[in-house]
Amino acid sequence: IHKVIFDTDPGVDDAMALLFLHHAPEIELVGITTTFGNGTIAQTTFNALYLVERFGMNVPVAQGAGKPLVGEPMDPPDFVHGVNALGDISLPGELTTAADPRPAHRFIIDTVRAAPHEITLVAVGRMTNLALALREDPEIAGLVKQVIIMGGAFGIAGVQGNVTPAAEANIIGDPEAADEICAAAWPITFVGLDVTQKTHMPTDYLSELADLGGESGRFIWDVSRFYEAFHQAGGVPSIYVHDSSAVAYLLRPDLFETRTGAIRVSTTGITRGMTIQKPDTLAFPPGAWDDRPSHRACVSVDAAGLRELYRATI
Ligand code: BDR
Ligand code: CA
């Protein structure tokens, strides 16, 4: 059993990943922490509470930071996830479920300390909450089982970014936080665009989920209409599988190949938000990657295997 805190900015693909976690028998979801990103922090927290309520998940939701460590948040990408960040499906005006009183980073610290070496952090939004948790209690780095991040890109598939040519959304949304968390000696795996853009969910696949996946399958269909249209308008025939790939890595790491090495995030200039790994197998003169722990970056994925895992789970 994997005990998971899901740090998320729901978000169409975040919602799809949450249902993946919810239905996977090997997962015990112990908390959801929210980040700004696909919507404002108020919107993504509302969406997380809505999903918990709608799907009867008995899981606390703790609201996270509303802005990055430095500066102000970028505008939410309405054109990707819709104005309400859930593909503009209709949402209730009010919810009965309330958020946990603690801020997300405090919730993370308390939960990790209560179950040392048992908690996996699956982070699929900005890295702000993780950075704040580490600043307040650096020892948690040695107490977390593993950290799996959907974010970044390492140029392996010829791609470095989706917001700029250099940067992926979750990283450029708070590059200082992303660089900080890579300095900590907790085991991180980056599931970046190199693999998430290699896995697609075509319309007929999603329609099969709608037919066979009960309430969750029908919801995935509804919530993905806007997101699919965005992909198609950009010349991508079917949706990329971003956040669910991080969940898939937890369940089936054998579906991925990884490379190890220290990771840094650029915080300046035209490369702001770029993730760069120094592979352990290569030697370089002394530099900014030295004295940094080695982390994993996914370099390839069995896309058909991942799709089948998601389908079977839903
Ligand atoms: C990431 O950015 C967000 O829009 C998605 O939810 C995903 O986490 C992809 O770059
Ligand atoms: Ca996300």
pLDDT (tens digit per residue) in 223-262: 999 999 999 999 999 999 999 999 999 999 999 999 999 9
Taking the centre of ligand 1 as the mean of its atom positions, its distance from the CA of residue 44, in whole angstroms, is: 13
CA 115 to chain centre: 22
Q: Which atom of ligand 1 is nearest to the CA of 162?
A: 10
What is the model's pLDDT at position 234? 94
Task: Give the whole-angstrom CA distance, residue 165 versus residue 158.
Answer: 11
Average pLDDT over residues 207-221: 98
181: pLDDT strictly greater than 90: yes
Average pLDDT over residues 177-192: 98
Count the helices and strands in the chain (H runs, E runs): 12, 11
Average pLDDT over residues 85-93: 97
Instruction: Give DSSP secondary structure letters for 117-134.
Output: TTEEEEE-S-SHHHHHHH
What is the model's pLDDT at position 169? 98
pLDDT (tens digit per residue) in 259-299: 999 999 999 999 999 999 999 999 999 999 999 999 999 99
Q: Which residues of 77-89 are buried (b: 16+ CB within 10 A; e: fewer)?
A: beebbbebbbbeb
Across the chain, what does the average pLDDT equal?
97
Positive or negative, the Cα torsion across 53, 58, 63, 64?
negative
Taking the centre of ligand 2 as the mean of its atom positions, its distance from the CA of residue 281, in whole angstroms, is: 31
Task: Give the whole-angstrom CA distance, residue 56 versus residue 59.
Answer: 9
**Residues designated as active site:** 9, 242
Positive or negative, the Cα torsion across 76, 78, 81, 83?
positive
Nearest residue by C-alpha to atom 10 in ligand 1: 169
Ligand nearest to C-alpha 81:
1
The DSSP symbol for 56 reads T
ipTM value:
0.98
Per-residue tokens: 216: 């969750």
What is the model's pLDDT at position 289? 95
Report phi then psi at 300, rounded to 5: -155, 160
Q: Which atom of ligand 1 is nearest to the CA of 38?
A: 4
What is the model's pLDDT at position 108? 98
Start-to-end CA span in the chain (Å): 18
157: pLDDT strictly greater than 90: no
Q: Which atom of ligand 1 is nearest to the CA of 10?
A: 6
Ligand nearest to C-alpha 35:
2
